[in-house]
Amino acid sequence: MSNNEVVIIDYGVGNIFSVRQGLEEAGASPIVTSDIKLIQSAKKVVLPGVGAFKNAMNALNALKMKDLLINIANEGVPFLGICLGMQLLFDESDEFGLSKGLGLIPGRVETYPLSIDKNQPIKIPQINWHELIPSEAHIDWKNTLLDNQESNDSVYFVHSFVANPVHKNHKLADYISGGNRISAMVVKENIIGCQFHPEKSGRAGISILKNFMKL
């Protein structure tokens, strides 16, 4: 595979078409596949996802992809989870009963928190544009996927559950909703997750995908 090729995991749960379009706009040559051999040889991997955590993990297990994806990520291949794909990176989720995830980033996926600001009621699912802000870990965005982001850039979210990393240094960016900090982007070495949809977030999102392709 060439440096601009990226494998999009096709497991029947995800916005494959829009993710592929976004990557193409970022200069990538995406390959959408569920073929084990192609995935094993991937130089970069994107795990999309829309829907319920449990259904997504059942789909990965049915295709015998769980251990494969864990091995690829642990080998240092740049690995990007988008929306539900980000949540699957974590140990487990409370959505529709306890379900185990890929366990690549320590933490849990939990119900969207109630507003602590009476002037900011929250609608679930949260379908909105939000500005990204530095996480409490204050990780420098330079040389990350958020390099070149402008202070007023907003990105597009659609989700009902939130990912909570055990370690604050795995949180790259947050957004504020109802007075709460919500994990927007997580990172652990080569493993990266976007709770938002970069492929639907205009210039800011395409910049993030371009930075992913530089890894």
Residues marked as catalytic: 83, 197, 199
C-alpha to C-alpha distance for 69 and 7, rounded to whole angstroms: 12
CB 73 within 8 A of CB 39: no
C-alpha to C-alpha distance for 103 and 108, rounded to whole angstroms: 9
DSSP 149-211: --TT-EEEEEESEEEEESSGGGEEEEEEETTEEEEEEEEETTEEEESS-GGGSHHHHHHHHHH
Pick the closest to residue 130 from 89, 206, 181, 81 (CA basis). 181
